């Protein structure tokens, strides 16, 4: 595997990490998988919609705020962009098999990229005189290519699809959205940040192995 890919995508995390007992482990009744939540959303459960918002908005808001140029901020709150992205993604929930939440997260990533781009373009049309540098990728694939190179994107996608679903969604949130372990734990209903850390460590190690097989 490309050394540049390993460095850029945090495969250094595949080094063995000792398991540390975490005092912040969630009560078992508070743990609900993304699969179960999406199934409830698909069934018209309004409470499930609300829970998806609560879980994903903090991490998505941080991701989006770091990518909107300063001159483009102020027209609309970053949280509004994130909520609009979630509304659009959940509005298409019928397209997704609830047993494959990884596909939903990838779709959400693309919608959020589109919404951020729309906001940058809208700000660029303001008669403020401020020049806005627009170097934001056009889509999810372009963003992946910036990080790992165009020759590895398809290999990454095929290899990711071969991982267990829980590892797929954790890796997408970690390496594509930059979620912290705590944010992933909250978003995916994992028992603790430490459990997420170990899951991603194992998942990235397996991803590296599969990518080597694919290339």
Is residue 14 assigned to a domain? no
Is residue 16 assigned to a domain? no
**The token pair that represents 33 in the structure block:** 């998988």
Is residue 37 assigned to a domain? yes
Q: Which structural domain, as residue segments, surrounds residue 85?
A: 30-128+135-214
Q: What local confidence, expressed as pLDDT, does residue 206 receive? A: 93
Q: What local confidence, expressed as pLDDT, does residue 97 receive? A: 65
Is residue 6 assigned to a domain? no
Is residue 3 assigned to a domain? no
Q: What local confidence, expressed as pLDDT, does residue 213 receive? A: 87
For residue 84, give every residue at least 6 positions away whose Cβ sits within 8 Å of its Cβ, in sequence order, or none.
115
Is residue 68 assigned to a domain? yes
Number of domains forming the structure of the chain: 1
Q: What local confidence, expressed as pLDDT, does residue 24 receive? A: 53
Q: What local confidence, expressed as pLDDT, does residue 80 receive? A: 85
Is residue 18 assigned to a domain? no
Mean pLDDT by 10 residues, the chain (215 residues): 47 42 44 79 89 88 76 67 89 73 79 82 62 59 76 85 88 87 88 92 92 83
Q: What local confidence, expressed as pLDDT, does residue 201 receive? A: 93
Closest by CA position to 89, among listed 104, 103, 78, 102: 104
How much is the pTM? Answer: 0.69
Q: What local confidence, expressed as pLDDT, does residue 118 receive? A: 80
Long-range pairs for 50-58 at CB < 8 Å and ≥24 separation? 52/86, 52/90, 53/83, 53/86, 55/186, 55/187, 55/188, 55/189, 56/82, 56/86, 56/108, 56/187, 57/82, 57/83, 57/86, 58/183, 58/186
Q: What local confidence, expressed as pLDDT, does residue 197 receive? A: 93
Q: What local confidence, expressed as pLDDT, does residue 172 receive? A: 87
Is residue 204 assigned to a domain? yes
Cβ atoms of 202 and 147 within 8 Å: the answer is: no
Between CA 196 and CA 207 the distance in angstroms is 16
């Amino acid at each position: 595997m490309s050394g540049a890919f390993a460095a850029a995508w945090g495969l250094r995390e595949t080094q063995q990490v000792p398991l540390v007992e975490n005092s912040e482990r969630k009560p078992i009744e508070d743990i609900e998988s993304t699969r179960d939540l999406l199934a409830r959303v698909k069934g018209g459960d309004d409470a499930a919609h609300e829970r998806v918002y609560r879980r994903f908005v903090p991490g998505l808001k941080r991701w989006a705020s770091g990518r909107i140029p300063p001159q483009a901020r102020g027209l609309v709150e970053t949280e509004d962009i994130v909520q609009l992205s979630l509304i659009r993604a959940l509005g298409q929930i019928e397209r997704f098999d609830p047993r494959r939440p990884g596909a939903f997260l990838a779709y959400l990533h693309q919608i959020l990229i589109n919404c951020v781009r729309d906001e940058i373009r809208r700000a660029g049309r303001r008669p403020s005189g401020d020049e806005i540098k627009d170097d934001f990728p056009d889509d999810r694939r372009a963003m992946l290519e910036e990080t790992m190179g165009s020759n590895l994107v398809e290999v990454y996608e095929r290899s990711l699809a071969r991982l267990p679903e829980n590892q797929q969604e954790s890796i997408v949130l970690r390496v594509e959205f930059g979620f912290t372990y705590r944010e992933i734990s909250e978003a995916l209903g994992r028992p603790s940040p430490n459990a997420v850390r170990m899951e991603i460590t194992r998942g990235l190690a397996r991803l590296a192995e599969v990518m080597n097989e694919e290339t």
